A and B are shown apart, each in its own frame.
Chain A
Amino acid sequence: MTRIDDRIRRVDAAEKARGEAVYLCDVKMEGMLNARFVRSTIARGMIDSIEVPQLPDGYWFISARDIPEGGRNSLVMIAGDWRCFADGDVRYVGETIGVLVGPSPAVLKALEKEIRITYTEREPAITIDDAIAVKGGPILEKDDVHCSLVSEKGENVEDVLARADEIFEETIETGFQEHVHLETNAAICCIEDGKYTFYISCQCPFYVRKSVAGLLGLQPSDIRVKQTTTGGAFGGKEHFPDVLAGPLLVAESVIRKPIRLVFDREEDMLYSVKRHPSKIVFRTGLDKDGNLLGSDIDVYYNCGAYLSSSYVVLQRGVFHANGVYDFPSTRIHGYGMATNTFPSDAFRGFGAPQTLFAIETHLDHIAAKFGFDPVEYKRRYFLKQGDETVTQGHVVEKVVLEEMLDQVARKSDYWRKTKEYARGGGRGIGMSFYNHGGAFTGNGEQSIIKAHLKLVKDGDRFTILCGQTEMGQGFRTILRKIVASVLEIDMDDVVYDNPDTDCVPDSGPTAASRSTMVVGRLAEEAAMQMKERLDEEHVEIETEYRHPDGHPWDQSTFKGDAYLGYGWGCACVEVEVDRLTNEVKVVGIWSSHDIGKAIDELIVHGQVNGGIIQSLGYASMEKMENRNGHFRQTSMSDYVVPTSMDFPRQEWGLVDNPYEWGPFGAKGMGELVFNGADAAYIDALERALDVTINRIPMPVEDIEGVRHD
C-alpha cells in the first residue's frame, strides 16, 4: 500500500536509466521520411523570390502555397498571429519559409543550401529600446506594442510621488534565456487509421491539435496527438511544438507518409523560443526615513515578432511586480513589445521571474542607500493573509514568510554573516524572497480550461485518464501516488500513461504549476468517489474543475483574486569573489519553500535543486545575445549552462502550510523554485564587491565593467 508520505521510486526512473524509455528520436516507422526547415536568414523584409532547384525523386519542398483552400496560415497559440509559413514577408531570423522532406537527412541539408531566396531588407527592431523608438517603422499597424495593461492599487501614484521626500528611480534589465532541454524539439506526423496523427515531444498535446487543425480547415478532434517521453521542456515545449507540427501537417497532407523532424542542437538553440528579455523601470516614492510610499513601475517585455502567448506572460509579470511585498500604492504598466527577434514564449516562471528579480534588486538598492540590512528592510513589507494585492484582490492564504526566513537565516547563519562581511570585502551573502501564483490567472481554470479527469476501475486495476504530461517533473509518479494513497492501494495498481488525445479528456496544459494543484485535486476527488464504489467491477468516474466561491476575477479589468494559492520562497546565496580576476565561487545555497504540502519529498527535492541551479545560471552565466536578429550563441559550447562543478550542494527545506483546495494540501511548485535564487546571487555579488548591478546575466567577464560604472 502506498501512503502519501512514503519515500517511493519514480515510476519512470529505471526505464530511463536503462536507456529503454522511447523518446521521439528513438521512434522508427516503416517508410519514414525526414524533414528540414528552410528559414529566413534576415530579420525583416519582403521575400522577392524563392528558387527551388530540381528536387530528386522522393523529395518535396512544402511552403505556404501548399496550405489547401479553406486552410488558414496561422498557428493558434492563444493569439493566432504566428504564421505556419512566412508568406510575402519575413519578420525574424529563422522564420519558417518552407520545409524540405525526403529520405536522407544529408541530402536535405545539401538541398537547403541550394534553395535561393532573395529579399528586400528593412531595418529591424531588435531590442526593447528599438521597439519603443519604432526603429525601421512600425512592425504592427501603427507601433511596436503587441499588448499592454495597467494594474493599480491604493492612491493615485502620481499624488503619492508628488508628496514623497525622495523618488528612487532605476531601470533593471534581464536577458534572453534558452531552455536547453537535453532532448531537442522533435515530432513525427503520419496518418493512422485515416487520421492525421502526431507523435511529439511536448507539454500540451491538446494545444498541438488546436493550434494546427485550421491549417487544413479541420477541427482539433480531426487530429490525434500522442505525447512521447519528453526529455525536458521548462516551457520550451508548451507552445513551440506547434511551430514544428504546423509545417509537418501541411507536408503530410501532400505526401501522406510518416515524416519526422528532429532539431539538431544548433537549430534548437538558434531557432526556438526564449525567455522574454525585460526592462523594468521603477519610480519609487520614499519618505525621509526610507519608508515605501508607493511605486510606479513600467514593465517592458520583448515578445519578438509574434504576440502568440506573450500577453498572458506579460500579465503574470505585472501581477508579480510587487514581489512578496505590500506596497501601499502601486501603478504597474505592462508593455509587450514587438521586435524582429524570434518570438519569446513560455519559460519556467512565465513572466514572473523578470519582475521578481527586478523588485528584489530594487529593494536591495533602496536598503543599501538608507543603510538598512536588506532583509530587515524587506520583511517590514511582507504580505500577509488578507492584504490587498496589486490587482485589488486579497491574499487568500496564510503567509509564512517569517518562518521561512527564520529557517534559511538559521541554516545559513545569515545574521552573523551580514554583519561581519564588510561590503566590498570579497565575500558576500544575499537573500531573496519570491512567490508564484499557482495555476491560470483569475478564473481562467473555470472559464478557459474547464479541466476534466477520468478514473476508471477494471477489476483491481485503476487507470487515470487526463492530458497532463510527464516532462521530467515527476507528474506520472505524483498522480499515481495521489490516487493510490486515497484508495489505500499499491501504486503499481494504478496506471497512467503518456496522453493520447483520442483516449483522454482535456485536463488543460501541463504548465502554470497547475498539474498537481488543479489536476491532482481532480484525481484526489475522483479517487475519493471511487473509494465508495470499490465493490463494483467496472466504474468510470469523471471529475471537473470547480472554482471556489467568493473569489471574483474580472478578466477585462484584471481586478480581483488573481491567484488563490501562491507558492512562496526564500533563497540565500553566499559567494567569494577574487577581487583581482572577478572569479566568483558560490560557497553556499540555502532555501525554504512553502508549497502547501509535498506530495513526494524526493521529487520536490529534485525540483528545488534544479530550479535553483537554472536560476543561478540565468543570473551568472547564461548569456544569449542577439545582433541584427541573429542569436550569437549557437551551441552548448558558447551558451553555457551550469555543470556539476559550478555550484555546491544545496541545503533546502519546506514549511508545512496546507492549501485548502489542493490534493493533500499541495500547491504549485515547479516554477516557484526558479523565481528567486538569481536575485540572492546578485545581492551577494553586490555586497562582496560593493557594486550596483542592474542587469542579468552578469557573467564573470562582465563584472569588471560594473566595477567601473
Chain B
Amino acid sequence: MIEFTLNGRSVRFEGNPLTRLIDVIRDDLGLTGTKEGCGEGECGACSVLRNGKLVTSCIIPVGSVAGDEIVTIEGLRDTDQGRCLVDAFAEAGAVQCGFCIPGMVMAAQALLLTNSHPDEEDVRMAISGNICRCTGYDLIVDAVLLASRKGEGLW
C-alpha cells in the first residue's frame, strides 16, 4: 500500500505501485484537471507539484511518491495563490485551447514558490518544459509576470 498526501489529504493506493501517478490522479481519484498530452514527460500537460517541485505525473510511478506531498490544479486553484494565477491567465489572454494551461499554472506556481519576482527570461525558462501549440507563449509569459506583480506578498 502506498500512502501520500494529495492536495492536503492523505491518500492510500493499494494497486500496482508501477501505476503512473497521472492514472491514479485521474482515474482512481477522479481529478481530471491534470491532462495527458504525450505520456512521456515531454509536454508538461500533466504537471503537478511534488514537495513543491514541478514534475510530470505521466512518467512517475505512484510507488515512488510514497510519503510525498502532491499538489494538482484542484489543490491550487482555490488558494490565494491559485486564484491569483487563474485570474492573471484570464486577464492576460494566455488561454486558448486550454489543454496545456493547468500544467502551465502548475509550472508558474513552482517558479513563484522559489522566485516571487521573476523576469521574462526566468519565466521562459520555468515554462520551457510545458508545450503550448496555440499561443506562441508571449501571453503566457505576460500572465506569469502579471501574477507575480498582482500577487505581491502571496509568494
Which residues of A sit under 8 angstroms from B73, Cβ to Cβ?
18-19
Name the residue of chain B whose CB is nearest to the CB of A614. B133
Q: Does B125 contact A (CB under 8 A)?
A: yes
Which residues of A sit under 8 angstroms from B138, Cβ to Cβ?
605, 609, 649-650
Query: Does B86 contact A17, Cβ atoms closer than 8 Å?
Result: yes
Q: Is the interface of A mostly helix, strand, loop or mixed?
A: loop
Which residues of B sit under 8 angstroms from A231, Cβ to Cβ?
35, 97-99
Check A17/B101 contact, CB under 8 A, given A182-B37, A182-B133, A232-B133. Answer: yes
Q: Does B62 contact A (CB under 8 A)?
A: no
Q: Does B32 contact A (CB under 8 A)?
A: yes
Q: Mark B71-102, 1 if CB is under 8 A from A, else 0.
A: 01110010000000111011101111111111
Query: Does A19 contact B102, Cβ atoms closer than 8 Å?
Result: yes
Which residues of A sit under 8 angstroms from B33, Cβ to Cβ?
18-20
Query: Does A613 contact B136, Cβ atoms closer than 8 Å?
Result: yes
B38 partner, pick from A26, A603, A614, A636, beta carbons under 8 A: A636
Q: Does A110 contact B (CB under 8 A)?
A: no
Measured between C-beta atoms, what is the minimum distance from A183 to chain B in Å? 4
Interface residues in B1-59 by Cβ distance below 8 A to A read 32-40, 42-43, 45
Measured between C-beta atoms, what is the minimum distance from B33 to chain A in Å? 2
Name the residue of chain A whose CB is nearest to the CB of B91. A9
Distance, CA A20 to CA B35, complexed state (A): 11
Check A265/B95 contact, CB under 8 A, given A19-B32, A610-B133. Answer: no
Q: Does B134 contact A (CB under 8 A)?
A: yes
Check A14/B99 contact, CB under 8 A, given A181-B133, A609-B138. Answer: no
Residue among B33, B34, B93 with the highest chain A CB neighbour number at 10 A = B93
Query: Does B99 contact A610, Cβ atoms closer than 8 Å?
Result: no
Which residues of A sit under 8 angstroms from B34, Cβ to Cβ?
19
Which residues of A sit under 8 angstroms from B127, Cβ to Cβ?
644
Query: Does B137 contact A644, Cβ atoms closer than 8 Å?
Result: yes
Question: Number of residues in A with C-beta < 8 Å to the partner?
Answer: 56
Q: Does A474 contact B (CB under 8 A)?
A: yes
Query: Does A182 contact B43, Cβ atoms closer than 8 Å?
Result: yes
Check A610/B96 contact, CB under 8 A, given A17-B90, A17-B105, A644-B140. Answer: yes
Query: Does B128 contact A182, Cβ atoms closer than 8 Å?
Result: no
Q: Does A518 contact B (CB under 8 A)?
A: no
Q: Does B120 contact A (CB under 8 A)?
A: yes
Q: Does A529 contact B (CB under 8 A)?
A: no
Which residues of A sit under 8 angstroms from B136, Cβ to Cβ?
606, 608-614, 642, 647, 650
Query: Does B36 contact A13, Cβ atoms closer than 8 Å?
Result: no
Measured between C-beta atoms, what is the minimum distance from B97 to chain A in Å? 3
Which residues of B sit under 8 angstroms from A605, Cβ to Cβ?
93, 138-139
Q: Does B135 contact A (CB under 8 A)?
A: yes
Query: Does A9 contact B90, Cβ atoms closer than 8 Å?
Result: yes
B93 partner, pick from A25, A181, A602, A612, beta carbons under 8 A: A602
Query: Does A182 contact B35, Cβ atoms closer than 8 Å?
Result: yes
Q: Is the interface of B mostly helix, strand, loop or mixed?
A: loop
Check A10/B32 contact, CB under 8 A, given A649-B138, A650-B138. Answer: no
Measured between C-beta atoms, what is the minimum distance from B126 to chain A in Å? 9
Name the residue of chain A whose CB is nearest to the CB of B104. A17
Distance, CA A183 to CA B35, complexed state (A): 8
Query: Does A13 contact B89, Cβ atoms closer than 8 Å?
Result: yes
Query: Does B89 contact A25, Cβ atoms closer than 8 Å?
Result: no
Which residues of B sit under 8 angstroms from A17, Cβ to Cβ?
77, 85-86, 89-90, 94-95, 98, 101-102, 105
A610 partner, pick from B40, B74, B86, B134, beta carbons under 8 A: B134
Check A644/B133 contact, CB under 8 A, given A25-B36, A232-B97. Answer: no
Query: Does B128 contact A472, Cβ atoms closer than 8 Å?
Result: no
Name the residue of chain B whose CB is nearest to the CB of A15. B98
Measured between C-beta atoms, what is the minimum distance from A582 to chain B in Å? 22
Q: Does A641 contact B (CB under 8 A)?
A: yes
Query: Does A472 contact B96, Cβ atoms closer than 8 Å?
Result: yes
Which residues of B sit under 8 angstroms from A13, Cβ to Cβ?
89-90, 93-95, 98
Distance, CA A54 to CA B58, complexed state (A): 33
Query: Does A26 contact B32, Cβ atoms closer than 8 Å?
Result: yes
Q: Does A171 contact B (CB under 8 A)?
A: no
Interface residues in A625-660 by Cβ distance below 8 A to B read 635-637, 641-645, 647, 649-650
Measured between C-beta atoms, what is the minimum distance from B92 to chain A in Å? 8
Measured between C-beta atoms, what is the minimum distance from A205 to chain B in Å? 17
Measured between C-beta atoms, what is the minimum distance from B8 to chain A in Å? 16
Name the residue of chain A whose CB is nearest to the CB of B27. A28
Which residues of B sit under 8 angstroms from A635, Cβ to Cβ?
38, 40, 42
Q: Does A23 contact B (CB under 8 A)?
A: yes
Which residues of A sit under 8 angstroms from B101, Cβ to Cβ?
16-17
Q: Does A139 contact B (CB under 8 A)?
A: no
Q: Does B60 contact A (CB under 8 A)?
A: no
Q: Does B65 contact A (CB under 8 A)?
A: no
Q: Does B70 contact A (CB under 8 A)?
A: no
Measured between C-beta atoms, what is the minimum distance from A480 to chain B in Å? 15
Query: Does A14 contact B128, Cβ atoms closer than 8 Å?
Result: no
Measured between C-beta atoms, what is the minimum distance from A651 to chain B in Å? 10
Q: Mark A179-212, 1 if CB is under 8 A from B, else 0.
A: 1111110000000000000000000000000000
Name the residue of chain B whose CB is nearest to the CB of A181. B133
Query: Does A265 contact B40, Cβ atoms closer than 8 Å?
Result: yes
Which residues of A sit under 8 angstroms from B36, Cβ to Cβ?
25
Which residues of B sit under 8 angstroms from A234, Cβ to Cβ?
133
Measured between C-beta atoms, what is the minimum distance from A652 to chain B in Å? 9
Measured between C-beta atoms, what is the minimum distance from A606 to chain B in Å? 5
Query: Does B140 contact A636, Cβ atoms closer than 8 Å?
Result: no
Interface residues in B118-155 by Cβ distance below 8 A to A read 120, 123-125, 127-141
Which residues of B sit under 8 angstroms from A21, Cβ to Cβ?
98
Check A474/B96 contact, CB under 8 A, given A13-B90, A605-B139. Answer: yes
Q: Does A688 contact B (CB under 8 A)?
A: no
Q: Does A264 contact B (CB under 8 A)?
A: yes
Residue among B94, B99, B102, B139 with the highest chain A CB neighbour number at 10 A = B99
Measured between C-beta atoms, what is the minimum distance from A90 to chain B in Å? 27
Query: Does B77 contact A10, Cβ atoms closer than 8 Å?
Result: no
Residue among A25, A264, A612, A643 with the highest chain B CB neighbour number at 10 A = A643
Which residues of A sit under 8 angstroms from B77, Cβ to Cβ?
17-19
Q: Does A229 contact B (CB under 8 A)?
A: yes
Distance, CA A20 to CA B131, complexed state (A): 20
Which residues of A sit under 8 angstroms from B74, Cβ to Cβ?
19
Which residues of B sit under 8 angstroms from A184, Cβ to Cβ?
37
Query: Does A232 contact B99, Cβ atoms closer than 8 Å?
Result: yes
Measured between C-beta atoms, what is the minimum distance from B145 to chain A in Å? 11
Which residues of A sit under 8 angstroms from B125, Cβ to Cβ?
644-645
Which residues of B sit under 8 angstroms from A474, Cβ to Cβ?
96
B35 partner, pick from A23, A179, A472, A610, beta carbons under 8 A: A23
Distance, CA A26 to CA B33, complexed state (A): 9
Distance, CA A265 to CA B59, complexed state (A): 14
Q: Which 7 A-B pairs have the closest CB atoms?
A: A19-B33, A472-B97, A16-B98, A231-B99, A609-B136, A613-B136, A13-B90
Besides A19-B32, A636-B42, 14 new A-B residue pairs in contact (Cβ under 8 A), listed by A number: A14-B90, A17-B102, A19-B33, A182-B43, A182-B45, A182-B97, A183-B37, A231-B35, A232-B133, A472-B98, A473-B96, A609-B139, A636-B37, A644-B132
Identify 13 residue pairs between A and B in the complex whose beta-carbon atoms are under 8 Å apart, listed by A's number: A16-B101, A17-B77, A17-B95, A18-B73, A181-B133, A265-B38, A266-B39, A606-B134, A609-B135, A641-B131, A643-B137, A644-B125, A649-B138
Interface set of A (CB-CB < 8 Å, partner B): 9-10, 12-14, 16-23, 25-26, 179-184, 229-234, 264-266, 471-474, 602-603, 605-606, 608-614, 635-637, 641-645, 647, 649-650
